[in-house]
Chain A
Amino acid sequence: ETGVTQSPTHLIKTRGQQVTLRCSSQSGHNTVSWYQQALGQGPQFIFQYYREEENGRGNFPPRFSGLQFPNYSSELNVNALELDDSALYLCASSLQGSSYEQYFGPGTRLTVT
């Protein structure tokens, strides 16, 4: 059974740029959630995708967008990067119906300068 993987591991971007983060779900999981974890904070829910459709969104502006592909892998896109976007971005996969048990990837550390 393959776990959740994320790429890249680390990323440095400049304010105003755009970034794409990638996530591969655990085998058999059809739901992906994305979280932002700032330093010293708990993960904050960005949005969830189920069968390629957005299935819930947290309090994040529209410049945070996502995609889920037919193989259930997912992307998180952030436009017009701001310094406060510097954080660890986590994705978690789950099986809809058992979505309470989410399996997290190791995260992508984004630094915006």
Chain B
Amino acid sequence: DQQVKQNSPSLSVQEGRISILNCDYTNSMFDYFLWYKKYPAEGPTFLISISSIKDKNEDGRFTVFLNKSAKHLSLHIVPSQPGDSAVYFCAASANTGNQFYFGTGTSLTVIP
């Protein structure tokens, strides 16, 4: 039972444009959401998070939006850079934060 879904396995974007990565979840108990970036042969790296009391969190070029009624979150990267090319995972947690549910990932390619 996949509680966190990333329906786009891959995305290609031109350098300088906006990248939008999407994530849907089914469990209404989730109250904390994270995005991780993963390069080949490395572990995932924490990128940005948002709690359910907010609908937006921004950190430099990265912004995460949360729509609780739609059970949907998105990660915006602007402007996109070639170094952003990686697999992006969204993850969600409920209450305790000791169990995270990950999506299947979206492979982003930023074309120079």
A residues near B (Cβ < 8 Å) are 4, 31, 33, 35, 40-45, 48, 50, 55-56, 58, 90, 92, 99-107
Q: When the two chains form their complex, are residues A104 and B98 in contact, meaning their CB atoms are under 8 A apart?
A: no
Instruction: Pick out which of these stretches binds chain A: B37-45, B63-71, B78-86.
Output: B37-45
Residues in B with CB closer than 8 Å to A101 are: 34, 46, 49
Is the CB of B25 closer than 8 A to any CB of chain A?
no
Residues in A with CB closer than 8 Å to B105 are: 42
Q: When the two chains form their complex, are residues A42 and B98 in contact, meaning their CB atoms are under 8 A apart?
A: no
Instruction: Pick out which of these stretches binds chain A: B13-21, B54-62, B89-97.
Output: B89-97
Q: How far is the CA of A100 from the CA of B34 in the complex (A)?
A: 8
Residues in A with CB closer than 8 Å to B42 are: 106
Q: When the two chains form their complex, are residues B99 and A92 in contact, meaning their CB atoms are under 8 A apart?
A: no
Question: How many residues from B make CB contacts under 8 Å with A?
Answer: 25
With known contacts A43-B89, A45-B99, A99-B98, A104–B104 Cβ distance under 8 A: no
Q: When the two chains form their complex, are residues B43 and A48 in contact, meaning their CB atoms are under 8 A apart?
A: no
Q: When the two chains form their complex, are residues B97 and A100 in contact, meaning their CB atoms are under 8 A apart?
A: yes
Chain A residue at smallest Cβ distance from B51: A100
Q: When the two chains form their complex, are residues B101 and A103 in contact, meaning their CB atoms are under 8 A apart?
A: no
Q: How far is the CA of A100 from the CA of B103 in the complex (A)?
A: 16
Q: How far is the CB of B71 from chain A (nearest CB, A)?
A: 17
Q: How far is the CA of A18 from the CA of B44 in the complex (A)?
A: 27
Q: 14 interchain pairs (CB within 8 A)? A: A4-B43, A33-B98, A33-B100, A35-B102, A42-B6, A42-B105, A43-B44, A56-B98, A100-B34, A101-B34, A104-B36, A104-B45, A105-B43, A106-B42
